[in-house]
Structure 1
Amino acid sequence: MALTDQSTRIREGEELDATAIDTYLKFHISGLSGTPRISQFPGGASNLTYLLEYPEQEFVLRRPPFGKKAKSAHDMGREFRILNQLNAGFPYCPKAYAHCTDDSVIGAEFYVMERVKGIILRDELPPELNLDEARTRQLCENFVDKLVDLHNVDYKACGLADLGKPEGYVQRQIGGWIDRYEKAMTPDAPQWEAVKSWLNDKMPADHPKPGIVHNDYRLDNVILDPANPMKIIGVLDWEMTTIGDPLMDLGNTLAYWIQADDPAPMQALRRQPSHLPGMLTRQQFADYYAERSGIEITNFDFYYTYGVFRLAGIMQQIYYRFFHGQTQDKRFAQFIHANKLLEQVCLQVIDKSRL
């Protein structure tokens, strides 16, 4: 089994025009010959990601999904800029080569970046890695360390001070995700009224030291060195990156973090090997982050509940496209059940919370 991340055949309805892409790239990137072989990376449920293979070089193309898109989402130009400028302070961003704003080329805006070859962890840890409990813990701690490093980046020195507004960030996130969720409602979706009310009532002040917020930092969005799987060599999916409260970003990450003692319905949502012996629990993850960053976390329940509600909002936006026939990807049919489960998770956290 190949340990490096592999592309597969393109899903029906998500094909690209190889000739149009080839013409565009040869105009903007020198030294290319032949016509690219195009395949698709199967992971992800938002922007679509393709592998372009030329004899001389391999690239990754990113484009928005087909169908209705949330306002301000899937901004290819913004992500292209982040990759180019953040690399100066966080050298784990792939190099971006070209950004196309002409929809006539493939029917949507897109950008092309380098392919960073490495291992991307999915729901299970490849047995070929032979990671025991101690090395699994080391990998997990390295993953947290990179998040701390990102939050400590001098974003002003990278020319990214205008990427977001840290003042009022927490309030905008809570209000914004409530609004986005309500606009993506389908007749079968839960209301989340008790959770929305609790988040508004328990909202903390913005953290005094804002930082780069990745907004989608997960194990399956980092690339490991094939020669040394303990080493992270790349971080992917920067489309939602902004400037804001680092603890909100921690909550986003922990929303995806399914631990070993979570019940079976939650285990069914797991998309990374966060349940294995050696992996930190959510509380241990937050404690280690606090230790490494020097940030005290006194309201963990709020940030985790926010992250889970936001995850449900993302899934509901995707399910909305499936419900209305704007995508044929059958994976999304189950998102409505995940949405309902996540509401129950939040209600249980709120019921036990001391906030």
Structure 2
Amino acid sequence: MTTGTTPDMHLDRLRGWLHACVPTLGVTADTPLTATRAGGGYSNLTFDIGIGANEATRHVILRRGPVGVRADRGAHDMRREFRVLSAVHGSTVPVPVPIALCEDESVIGGMFFLMSKVTGVAVRTLDDAPVLRDPAMMRRMSESCIDALAALHALPVERMPLYDAAKVDGYGARQVANWERRWAAAQTPDVPTTDAALVFAWLSEKLPAPLPPALLHNDWKFDNLLVDAADPWIIRGVLDWEMATIGDPRFDLATSLGYWVQHDDAPMLQALALGVTNAGGCLTRQELVDRYAAQRGVPVDTPVYWYAFGLAKVAVIVLQLYSRYVRGETQDARFAFLGGMAALMMQTARTAIDHDSLEPR
């Protein structure tokens, strides 16, 4: 029996592979399988695989790269993501249990891996965890979020699978140059460039001396954390390790700051809020930096640098989406306002630099 909402999943071949290669799951030639798309990401694809029927159904999660994209390159490298997940599993950072990696692309049309299904919610709105309407609860969750990031950066980096191939020297300079190149490549005629030019020049000139390297998640925000619905300060699992790398840990903090919209930010920035960082009780950006520094026991000097970099990075990501819309590669109406959003984020980064402050002006 083969059912589900993803006819391109080749469940018959998947069943055969599970039976032959993952005996711990107990899949036989007659075991019903279902596959349902999970999550709303735009990069790697996630599926909930149901094994069995009715009350006896068990679930595992399957991750694969986008259809038609090589699964051994960059963020779509399934081997790489599986190795990182395996290295982090069992540490102080909660992650799904890695189960198996399939490098045979003939099974479902691409390399993939399996991991356990974590019970929890990704908080994108207060409706996902209504208890967060209590500011005290919201504060505890935001504290847990940054504490877990600090715990990740404290893991022994030399034991990480990416360490031997890491290009630690010059990491920061490459990051600044990389995101500046991406901004230029995504540029559209209607998005101003003056603020971006000044921001990237300042980031290049003021690059702080590096800290010892750590494992970076590179996309640390609320909707990549599965938390307990009743006690949302309890993180059940950290997801989406596809962009993990080795580098200066403050660049990971910077990405979080770039997404961390406060309740008193400009109204248009409020539209970007991912998760509930602008809810009552949530840590402010300055409190986020201070708590991270205290948890790690390392200074976070020039916090405005990391906020400006985070804003610039997220602005580039937003502009890339808008550029796709302008070129007609997507008709998604939600993308129509993103050019103004990217410009506003660069303007916000420049204002933060000019006033040397993480607070809105």
TM-score bracket, normalised by the shorter chain, equals 0.7 to 0.9
Q: Which residue is 1:62 aligned to?
A: 63
Q: Which residue is 2:205 aligned to?
A: 201
Q: Which residue is 2:38 aligned to?
A: 41
- Deviating beyond 6 angstroms after TM superposition, the runs of 4 or more aligned structure 1 residues are 67-71
Letter in 1 for 2:315: A
Q: Is the 8 A contact 1:190 1:339 kept in 2?
A: no
Structure 2 distance, partners of 1:125, 1:353, is: 35
TM-score by length of 1: 0.85
Equivalent position SS for 2:300 = coil
RMSD between aligned alpha carbons? 3.0
User: Offset at 1:244?
Assistant: 1.1
Q: Is the 8 A contact 1:19 1:35 kept in 2?
A: no
User: Offset at 1:125?
Assistant: 4.9
Q: Which residue is 1:309 aligned to?
A: 312
Structure 2 distance, partners of 1:108, 1:313, is: 29
Structure 2 distance, partners of 1:46, 1:334, is: 21
Q: Which residue is 1:32 aligned to?
A: 27
Structure 1 distance, partners of 2:70, 2:329, is: 10
Return closer, same or farther for 1:26/1:334 CA change in 2, 3 Å cut-off: farther
Q: Which residue is 1:350 aligned to?
A: 353
Letter in 2 for 1:257: W
User: Offset at 1:325?
Assistant: 5.8
User: Offset at 1:15?
Assistant: 5.4
Structure 2 distance, partners of 1:189, 1:17, is: 43
Return closer, same or farther for 1:99/1:186 CA change in 2, 3 Å cut-off: farther
User: Offset at 1:217?
Assistant: 0.8
Aligned counterpart for 1:94 among listed residues 96, 99, 110:
96
Q: Which residue is 1:74 aligned to?
A: 76
User: Offset at 1:163?
Assistant: 5.4
Return closer, same or farther for 1:99/1:320 CA change in 2, 3 Å cut-off: farther
Letter in 1 for 2:182: R
TM alignment of 1:135-150, pairs within 5 A: 135-150=137-152
User: Offset at 1:47?
Assistant: 2.0
Letter in 2 for 1:297: V
User: Offset at 1:334?
Assistant: 4.7
Structure 2 distance, partners of 1:320, 1:38, is: 33
Q: Which residue is 1:263 aligned to?
A: 266
Aligned counterpart for 1:162 among listed residues 140, 161, 164:
164
Which ranges in structure 2 are unaligned for 5 or more consecutive residues? none
Structure 2 distance, partners of 1:265, 1:69, is: 37
Work out whether 1:285 is the aligned partner of 2:288: yes
Work out whether 1:340 is the aligned partner of 2:348: no
Total equivalences in the alignment: 344
Return closer, same or farther for 1:190/1:241 CA change in 2, 3 Å cut-off: farther
Return closer, same or farther for 1:9/1:286 CA change in 2, 3 Å cut-off: farther
TM alignment of 1:309-328, pairs within 5 A: 309-320=312-323
Work out whether 1:239 is the aligned partner of 2:242: yes
Q: Which residue is 1:211 aligned to?
A: 214
User: Offset at 1:100?
Assistant: 3.2
Structure 1 distance, partners of 2:18, 2:327, is: 34
- 1:192-235 alpha-carbon deviations (Å, 9 max, x no partner): 2222212111111211x221111111111111134633211211
Q: Is the 8 A contact 1:257 1:270 kept in 2?
A: yes
Please say which of residues 68-77 and 178-187 is displaced more in the overlay.
68-77
Structure 2 distance, partners of 1:315, 1:110, is: 28
Counting aligned pairs with the same residue, the percent is 36
Letter in 2 for 1:217: W
Letter in 2 for 1:212: L
Return closer, same or farther for 1:133/1:22 CA change in 2, 3 Å cut-off: same
Equivalent position SS for 2:119 = coil
Return closer, same or farther for 1:90/1:273 CA change in 2, 3 Å cut-off: same
Letter in 2 for 1:344: Q
User: Offset at 1:158?
Assistant: 4.6
Structure 2 distance, partners of 1:43, 1:352, is: 37
Equivalent position SS for 2:158 = coil
Equivalent position SS for 2:9 = coil
Higher helix share: 2
Please say which of residues 143-152 and 306-315 is displaced more in the overlay.
306-315
